[in-house]
Amino acid sequence: MGRVAIWISCVLLLAATCQGKGAPGHRVRVGYYNRKCPAAEIIVRSVVGKAVSRNPGLGAGIIRMAFHDCFVQGCDASVLLDPTPANPRPEKLGPPNFPSLRGFEVIDAAKAVLERVCPGVVSCADVIAFAARDSAYFLSGYKIDYKMPAGRFDGSVSLESESLQFLPPPFFNLTQLVDSFKAKNMNEDDLVVLSGAHTIGVSHCSSFTDRLPPNPSDMNPGLTRLLQSKCPVSPNFTNDPTVVQDIVTPNRMDNKYYTNLLKRNVLFTSDAALLTSGKTALKVMENAFKPGSWEKKFAKAMVKMAAIELKTAANGEIRRNCRVVNK
């Protein structure tokens, strides 16, 4: 992580050139903050790099956070909003997010620096988009590296019920998965490629016990036995351990998810579902056996996902604190 120290130095050098208060326009583009806040992307990458070096799981959580944010209300940082008396059940308290979603403190840390350097300029939605990209960069050993357009606005609507409505659960079959992606203008290619993010991070036992005995599944018997040794028969809120999603390279973003999938060494019904169609199974094999292919496709899919249902000045704002809407 020696590069992180260099970026921190750059932040200090560039901070003085950051512009004053202002709000991004509605059209996202690469280099959006070059004049408004030149240090913006360096700041986020610095904070993310330090966090991931301490705990790779935080990077996995931030990539998942980007997905969970964009599929609900669009990429508007609505997943970051805390409960309030007026809205006691926001997205982050929905079953897909609580208690499993993590990385909020990393976004808070990056936003705090940005507010000191360029107050009122960088949206929380852009921080999530940058942080997800940078998490993939570090976790992949710098192999996943791409430019992320910016200029998003933050939303003010965040409802627990919508997290259940729009986020595909781990028990979905292929038809349901394709439909949920199609609803967000994402296709089967995007589904297979973004599922590859399951090459990192952990999962609660409750997310996949439907595939453990006595339930029928095609899971590799060796993995079945390993999971049975780690998971209670009936997980609950007070007894729901986590296990790694990729038993080969659990803390590295690579294409091992796809070779695991072909060996039936995956956790979720939604993972196994990718082999139930010849079309998606072929895409799995391409990602498994064509070196460097998945990393490039993942970068493109993340940029595409980060453009879902963006807010404009008419229905968005630049939050000063990512956890609450502006007064």
Let me know whether 156 and 185 are in one domain: no
Let me know whether 187 and 160 are in one domain: no
Q: Is the pLDDT of residue 85 over 50?
A: yes
Let me know whether 119 and 195 are in one domain: no
- Per-residue model confidence as pLDDT tens digits over 292-316: 999 999 999 999 999 999 999 999 9
Q: Is the pLDDT of residue 173 over 80?
A: yes
Let me know whether 53 and 139 are in one domain: yes
Q: Is the pLDDT of residue 286 over 80?
A: yes
- CA–CA separation, 199 and 49 (whole Å): 19
Confidence of residue 27 (pLDDT cuts 50, 70, 90): confident
Let me know whether 150 and 210 are in one domain: no
Let me know whether 79 and 46 are in one domain: yes
- CA–CA separation, 269 and 172 (whole Å): 7
Residue 291: inside a domain: yes
The confidence score (pLDDT) of residue 13 equals: 41
Boundary residue ending a domain (167, 186, 208): 167
- CA–CA separation, 239 and 107 (whole Å): 28
The confidence score (pLDDT) of residue 20 equals: 34
The whole domain housing 261 covers: 174-305
Boundary residue ending a domain (110, 137, 167): 167
Q: Indicate which CATH number applies to the domain containing 46.
A: 1.10.520.10
> How many structural domains is the chain composed of?
2
- Per-residue model confidence as pLDDT tens digits over 62-78: 999 999 999 999 999 99
Let me know whether 178 and 297 are in one domain: yes
Let me know whether 183 and 150 are in one domain: no
Mean pLDDT of 177-182: 98
Closest CA to 65 of 131, 155, 144: 131
Let me know whether 160 and 184 are in one domain: no
Is residue 154 within 8 Å of residue 124, measured between CB atoms? yes
- 112's CB contacts (< 8 A; 6+ apart) are none
The confidence score (pLDDT) of residue 26 equals: 52
Please give the positions annotated as active site: 68
Residue 140: inside a domain: yes
Enclosing H/E stretch for 223: helix 221-230
User: What average pLDDT is seen over the chain?
Assistant: 92
Q: Is the pLDDT of residue 33 over 90?
A: yes
